[in-house]
Copies of this chain bind each other. A is one copy, B any other.
Amino acid sequence: MPHSDSTLSSPVSPKPRRGRGRPAHADGDAAPVSARLLDAATALFAEQGFDAVGVRPIANRADVDPAMIAHHFGSKLALWEAVVDRLSLRLTDRLAAVALGPGSASARLDEAVGQIIDLLCDAPELAAFILREVVLPSERSAYGAARLANPIHHILRPLIADVVAEHRADIDVDYLFVALNGAIVVSIVSRPLLDRLADPADDAQFRARLKATMAAQMAARIGI
């Protein structure tokens, strides 16, 4: 699987180290310091996990002084929590707009799944972060459940329940919620494997196949 590493590291590549005397938060940098730290932390936590990553590598990758982590977030744990919160806000913003929009429950659920796929394909390190730091149990699991899993569940559950009620009453809605999200996240992290098992896909093909697979997997289509 030769490009497994590049899958994770390409969206946030390490920048060249800044020149001597250039301040850490120089004007002309594209993103604010806090956003650069969040990007760097997301990528490193996704690759190595919370415990293995120190604040210095995060600051180096963000090209800022390590003191900026304490200044902006307070601690490595608070930075981790901010990564979860930013991810949660991005997902719930998109999902809430779809869930409250027009159309049948089935169509809105398809659209919501498409939004999750698009967001995670735009930044595949988020899928790895979710698997390693939210799905796998850790001392941080309660935070991940409360701030990421629960809000998404709150938005998607009514849609899934409507779709299941329409077609099959004997499927547990919450199990379907977890299975659906698990299938999406694992598929995105497994893209290098999929490029070897199936015909290699460019980015648009990958998303289209994944959306078709998820739509096919949904109870939405069962009984139709």
Contacts and interface: CB of A to CB of B under 8 A. Distances in A.
A121 interface: no
Among A141, A210, A217, which residue has the most Cβ atoms of chain B within 10 A?
Answer: A217
A78 interface: no
A204 B139 CA distance: 28
A125 to B, nearest CB: 11
B177 A197 contact: yes
A176 B43 CA distance: 27
Interface residues of A, number: 61
A104 interface: no
Given A135-B189, A137-B128, A224-B223, A176 B1 contact: no
A209 interface: yes
Interface of A: 1, 4-5, 7-8, 48-49, 51-52, 128, 131-132, 135-138, 141-142, 145, 149, 153, 168, 170-187, 189-190, 192-194, 196-198, 209-210, 212-214, 216-219, 221-224
Given A178-B187, A182-B186, A212 B171 contact: yes
Given A4-B137, A178-B190, A217-B219, 7 more contacts: A1-B137, A49-B49, A52-B52, A128-B136, A174-B197, A178-B193, A179-B214
Among A131, A179, A189, which residue has the most Cβ atoms of chain B within 10 A?
Answer: A179
Contact of A145 (B168, B196, B221, B224): B196
Nearest to A206: B175
B131 A135 contact: yes
Contacts of A168: 216
A210 B137 contact: no
A186 to B, nearest CB: 3
Nearest to A6: B137
Contacts of A182: 182-187, 190
A210 B172 CA distance: 9
